[in-house]
Amino acid sequence: MHARAISSPRKSIRRRQLREMVPLADSTIYEMEQRGEFPRRFCLSPRCVVWDQAEVEAWLEERRSKPSMPARGPDVRQRRARPIKGQDPARTTA
């Protein structure tokens, strides 16, 4: 008889559990999945979508290990509605 290596079953998590683990909006998670920046969901049935818990936890650990970079602010020089103080509105480029 052949001995089979029995692996432990992989645990999957549903959307509610994912929201508790990852504080991002559903639309943000979907966009990140499309870009390949977040673990992909898979369907258990036509109405049940889940994620692999080990993949999500690995993604979280990877994000924690990277230094966070602050988001860049908008370039206020390109504003048209409220020009920068001290700037001549007639000289703004169109």
pLDDT digits (tens, 9 = 90+) for 36-86: 999 999 999 999 999 999 999 999 999 989 887 788 887 877 777 776 666
Residue 49 and residue 60: Cα distance in Å, rounded? 20
Sequence-ordered list of residues with C-beta below 8 angstroms from that of 35, at least 6 positions apart, any chain: none
Residue 37 CA to residue 72 CA, distance in Å, equals 20
Distance, in Å, from the CA atom of 62 to the CA atom of 78, rounded to the nearest integer, reads 36
The reply to whether the predicted model has a pTM over 0.85 is no
